[in-house]
Structure 1
Amino acid sequence: MPQQTIVVVVVVCVVLVVVVIVIAVVLVAVVVVIVVAAAIVIIVVVVVVLFVVVVVVIVVAVVVIVIV
C-alpha cells in the first residue's frame, strides 16, 4: 500500500507540474500575441497619421501656390 501511495503522489505531482507549465506557456503565448497586435496597431496608426500629415501639407502647399 505505501508503494502504491508513493506512486499516486508522484503521478499527481507530475500532472500538477505539467498543468502549471501548460498554463504558463498559454499565458505567455497570449501576452506575446497581445503585444504583437498592439505593436502592429501602433505602427498602422503612426503610418496613417504621417500619411495624413503629408497629404495635408501637400494640399496646403498647393493651395498657397495657387493663391500666390
Structure 2
Amino acid sequence: MILATEVLIMTDAARNLIKTRTLSQLNSIIQTGAQYGMHTMDKSIKRLYDEGGITKETVMEYSKRI
C-alpha cells in the first residue's frame, strides 16, 4: 500500500478562509505553504511517481492537475 497525503496547516490565512467560507482558495494556501509543511495531494502523487512508487496510470487516475 502506498500513501499519498494532502496537508493543510492552520495558519492565519487558512483560518480566515475557513471563517469566511472561502474554501475555493484553500488549495492556493496549501500550494504556497511549503515553509509550514503543507503540500497538495497532486504534489504528493507526483513525488510518489518520481520516486517510482506508483505508475503513470495511477497518477492519471488520482491526480487532478498533473
The TM-score, its normalising length taken from structure 1, stands at 0.29
| Greater share of residues in helix | 1
Higher relative contact order (CA 8 A, sep 6+): 2
The TM-score, its normalising length taken from structure 2, stands at 0.29
Larger radius of gyration: 1
